[in-house]
Amino acid sequence: MGGGGMGMGGGGGMGGFQNIEPGRVRKVKVTTVCLEHGKKDPNPRIKYDIVPIENFTRNAQVIELCRMIGSGKLDQMSAQAAAWHLTDKLSWQQLVQKIGATHLNGSSERYFHPNQVAMGMRYVQIAQQRAKLRSEAQGKEESLSNQ
């Protein structure tokens, strides 16, 4: 299954990811996105548990987007725009207009550059295609196992 020409490769695995033995603690840098708009930013001083995405959502498009993020080849801010569009139903227009910082002089900065939102739109299209292909492949596997 191809990645839609965006260098995202095939299966959705964590190519090259290390295996950590049970009971061992390791610090690992990972690219993530927030899947719940409006929550506070993560704090590096707080311990977080990493859980399978399927424990959080059944939305196949969100799952595929997270697999794509795991490849390490997506722009994080564009992926964030895509995630909030999928999980929180924020429109693309809302994402373009989202204010990131308001300065003391009254000026403000956008949270996302319009190009990041445009790329996020593309990521959603690819996630939709991949989710459809994965569903079709699983359907074929199930029908073969029932024969």
Domain residues of the chain, as ranges? 53-145
As a whole number of Å, the end-to-end CA separation of the chain is 24
* Cβ partners under 8 Å of residue 14, min gap 6: 70
Return the pLDDT at 42: 83
pLDDT tens sequence for the chain (147 residues):
334 344 333 344 445 556 778 888 877 778 889 999 999 888 889 888 888 999 999 999 999 999 999 999 999 999 999 999 999 999 999 999 999 999 999 999 999 999 999 999 999 999 999 999 999 998 877 666 666
Query: Token pair of 26, please?
Result: 């390791």
Cross-strand pairs, 102: 108
Contact (CB, 8 A) for 86 and 73 = no
Query: Token pair of 133, please?
Result: 């292909």
DSSP state of 18: P
Return the pLDDT at 19: 75
Return the pLDDT at 117: 99
Return the pLDDT at 14: 46
